[in-house]
Structure 1
Amino acid sequence: MNSLTAFFQANGPMLLEGVLDTLYMTFTATIVAYIFGVPIGILAEITRKGGIHPMSLFNKVLGWIINIGRSIPFIILLVAVMPFTRIVVGTTIGPKAATVPLIIAAIPFVARLVETSLRELDDGVIEAAKAMGANDRQIIFKVMLSETLPSLVLGSSLATITLVGYTAMAGAVGGRGLGDIAIRFGYYRYQPDIMIVTIVLLVIIVQIIQSIGHIVSKKLDKKSKGES
């Protein structure tokens, strides 16, 4: 017990800063990625063959771009966009710099999650909306997004969890956060206690995000079923 207390007295401030940096990178990247990713995912769904506004060539090009974005390993992307990161934030070190490649990596992932969620919607629901005179905008916002909201929430928790893992990799190139602490102290300085604690903290963060996502999704699902 005394050794545990001594450990947190010595390393507590550093670990707290690592947690805050990890949360900052994760949620900033998630929010910005959803701002861009949701419209792209909607476009990918509505322009497909059988969508509400089919555009075959546009859909193929968009799908190709999304697939390329998803195919690049994050650690390679992290290094490849360093010149762009420097232009955007003025540095390639620290949490703000790490959010740039995190956002770039997350946008195609979010777009595909949104597209998949929207595709789960029964075509009959859309046909009914069309029969009632709804235009494309009304179908997108009042039918497609509204009906698939529980699935979209689950997708957002998955995207956020994925970004938590990416922040750990960002620590390898000076992104700070828990990943940086694990590498600098746990690996390079041979301090397995710090390595174990950072892993536990990352697991806790992931479990909290996943639990919140499931709870919110279930409540939204029950609400939508109750209203219907």
Structure 2
Amino acid sequence: MAHSAAEILRGLNQAKAPAQCRYQDIFKLCENCMDDVFAVQFNAFINGKSVSQVKRLLSEPNSRGLLPIHKLIKRDMNKAVALLLEWGKAFDLDYKVGRLTIMDALCQTNAIRDKMLRLVLSYTDDPDNNNGNSGFHPMVIFGGHEPSLIALLDAGATVEACMKRHPMLGGVFKERIYSARRNWMAGRLHKDNLPNTVLRARARQL
């Protein structure tokens, strides 16, 4: 379910909203690990910048001379992956500003998207991970790119049907998608249970 930037901001501003502290933690992580670039980008989302403004932030240094986001991703992709997955725990990746999703905005290159797909799918068929709980909805990343995929899975669509609808899922991911779908339909996946330390450790291994 997509939410407007205004809805996200309203939720964050509620005194007892569980996302409030999470957002503060993420913002600090952005500042500490990403030279403030991701913090600037995330701030643009929750403050309801337009699509054109967000895209401009992605491609140009801002007034403080910070690196464009795509250059930072190329410079340190492991940190980028770990941070994006942090965001995925706090906010559904299908939150949108206009038609631009967080996933679309932050994963402009095939390289970062491919790395994230591999990282997320690596959790879906590991029954021993995190005391038996694979950490993410198997399609949380795909969901950010195209929310209808989750709807297809929830409706019992076959993997082949999903792959036909979404060609980016083909080839190397096919068997893992089968496993992910089985686990998801069996209710064994919980996207909010994966510890930060596990995320970061797995990101460093890639």
Please give the TM-score of this superposition, normalised by the length of structure 1.
0.21
Please give the TM-score of this superposition, normalised by the length of structure 2.
0.23
Which has the larger share of helix?
1
**Structure with bigger gyration radius:** 1
Q: Flag the structure with more relative contact order, 1 or 2, with Cα contacts below 8 A and sequence separation at least 6.
A: 1
